[in-house]
Amino acid sequence: MENLIFPADFVWGVSTSAFQIEGAPGEDGRGPSIWDGFGPEPAGDATDHYHRYADDVALMADLGVDAYRMSFAWPRVQPGGSGPANPRGLAFYDRLLDEVCAAGIAPVGTLYHWDLPLELEEAGGWLNRDTASRFEDYAAILADAFADRVKMWIPLNEPVVTTVYGYAIGEYAPGKALLLDALPTAHHQHLAHGLAVRVLRAAGATSVGTANHHSPVWPASGSEADRAAADWLDALLNGLFADPVLLGRYPEELLPYLPPDCADDLPVIAQPLDFYGVNYYEPQGAAAPGEGNPLPFELRPIEGFPRTTNHSPIVPDGLRELLVRFAARYELPPVYVTENGCSFDGVHDPERIDFLERHLAALRAAMDAGVDVRGYFVWSLLDNFEWSKGYAPRFGLVHVDYETQRRTPKDSFAWYRELVSR
Ligand code: GBH
């Protein structure tokens, strides 16, 4: 830890998302979302944060973090995804934000972390351009209600994951396997982002950014064909989600898969941001497509690194590589790592401490190379519902016993507390 020297005003935080922790699916008028009942293990009560939020804020106060990144559940705020706000849904976030602020912690609010109101999915979800307009209305409700307390705003979490896992391969809700026909969902999410940025600013929000998932893409070999495949996958996973926002254009090779008039929306999409939030977990391998593969690439696992219980290769330097590359390619606003973390079992979790330590050293190296990084958020405060993987992977600094909902801070919690207090 001694080597991890960060600026005095560096923002230390933790991240969560509504659906992964709240539970209380039918309470106070919350509508159904695409994730209710999706996947092999339903979320059910999750960590019951909806009722235990005060305990969880107390844990964060004890942890000593500067900021808390959470998300609002759209189906609590607008049960069917449109129309007037549900006052009881807003009241929960009102109580939560007051509690967070009273603890001296800055709330960072994500408007959308994947729990789309089911009614909107039935109308086409993110394949439907109109969902972006619905999102604009939703953003206006949250902006009016909470711009006085939320310090940093993030319209959408990881639109790449919605496009790829939700609509292209169907591992995540809504479970569509459209392959490259999923790409219009990227454009509609970008439009939703841009419309929300405008609405948030109009309501007085002074810090609006992103939480984009990015991965360095590594070719399986030095061959021309593998490198071309890696470039294509890089355009899909990184360029498609960063270029429109930061450069005001789409990667050339993806234009055939996007709505024909998408360029008209780029001025709304490319509004200047106050920060660029990056979620980093692991690099992605790519190789030239084999016989019969309709895609221009093939995914390859990254070999030669230790893995988490969720089978992610642990590659701390990928974070430095990614940030340095981004800073060279784009004129970035201040950067925040809005998520980074790992799944390991047990309350004694030296593996997580090692993971965080090494990723922070890589982050420090990126800063030494000139990248303007202002903060870092651990994914996650609590063990929680890990989407299609259910409750098996444990990402928390705090252990949750799902039988009793008892919270137990892990060794990594004590380690992070020490780090952020220096
Ligand atoms: C983040 O996604 C999410 O923002 C967060 O909600 C999540 O809990 C966290 O990572 C930890 O995973 O093998 O089909 O189950 C990171 C990107 C993309 C990583 C999908 C896991 C596995 C898909 N994620 N991937 S699957």
- Residues near 133 by beta carbon (within 8 Å), at least 6 away in sequence: 195
- Tokens 């784009």, residue located: 330
* Helices and strands of the chain, counted as H and E runs: 14, 13
Percent of the chain past pLDDT 70, that is, above it, reads 100
Q: What's phi and psi for 257, nearest 5 deg?
A: -100, 0
The answer to whether 112 and 96 have CB atoms below 8 angstroms apart is no
The C-alpha atoms of residue 54 and residue 371 are separated, in whole angstroms, by: 36
pLDDT band at 76 (very low <50, low <70, confident <90, very high): very high
Question: For residues 352 and 410, is the Cβ–Cβ distance under 8 A?
Answer: yes
Reported as half-sphere exposure (CB side, CA atoms, 13 A), residue 258 has a value of 23
Taking the whole predicted model, whether its pTM rises above 0.85 is answered as yes
Q: Are 83 and 42 in contact (CB under 8 A)?
A: no
**Does the pLDDT of residue 295 top 90, yes or no?**
yes
Atom of ligand 1 nearest to the CA of 171: 14
As given in the structure block, the two tokens for residue 117 are 């109101």
Average pLDDT over residues 38-53: 98
- pLDDT at residue 3 in the model: 87
Helix/strand/coil for 371: coil
Q: For a pocket test of ligand 1, which of 158, 162, 314, 395 has the largest count of ligand atoms closer than 8 A to its C-beta? A: 158
Q: Which helix (H) or strand (E) holds 69?
A: strand 67-71
Percent over 90 (pLDDT), the chain: 99
- State the fold for domain 11-421: TIM Barrel (3.20.20)
Tally of CB atoms within 10 A around 2: 5
Which of 99, 119, 121, 158 is catalytic? The answer is 158
| Strands 11-15 and 67-71, bridge-based pairing | parallel
Domain boundaries, the chain: 11-421
How far is ligand 1, taken at its centre, from the CA of residue 215, in Å? 12
212 beta partners: 278
| Two tokens, residue 205 | 């929000």
Cα distance between residue 211 and residue 154, in whole Å:
6
Q: Please confirm, yes or no, whether 339 is among the known catalytic residues.
A: yes
* 361-395 pLDDT, tens digit each: 999 999 999 999 999 999 999 999 999 999 999 99
Binding-site entries for substrate: 20, 113, 157, 281, 379, 386-387
Distance 233 CA to ligand 1 centre (A): 18
Q: What is the pLDDT of residues 302-330, one digit of tens each?
A: 999 999 999 999 999 999 999 999 999 99
* Residue 95 near residue 41, CB atoms below 8 Å: no
Residue with CA closest to ligand 1 atom 14: 171
**What is the average per-residue pLDDT within 62-85?**
99
Q: Using alpha carbons, list the distances in angstroms from residue 66 to 11, 256, 365.
A: 6, 44, 22
pLDDT tens figures, 225-244: 999 999 999 999 999 999 99
CA angle at 234 for the pair 228 and 240, rounded to the nearest 5°: 125
In ligand 1, the atom with minimum distance to the C-alpha of 17 is 6
Residues with Cβ within 6 A of ligand 1? 17, 20, 157-158, 161, 165, 171, 213, 279, 281, 339, 379, 386-389, 395
C-alpha dihedral sign at 180, 388, 377, 98: positive
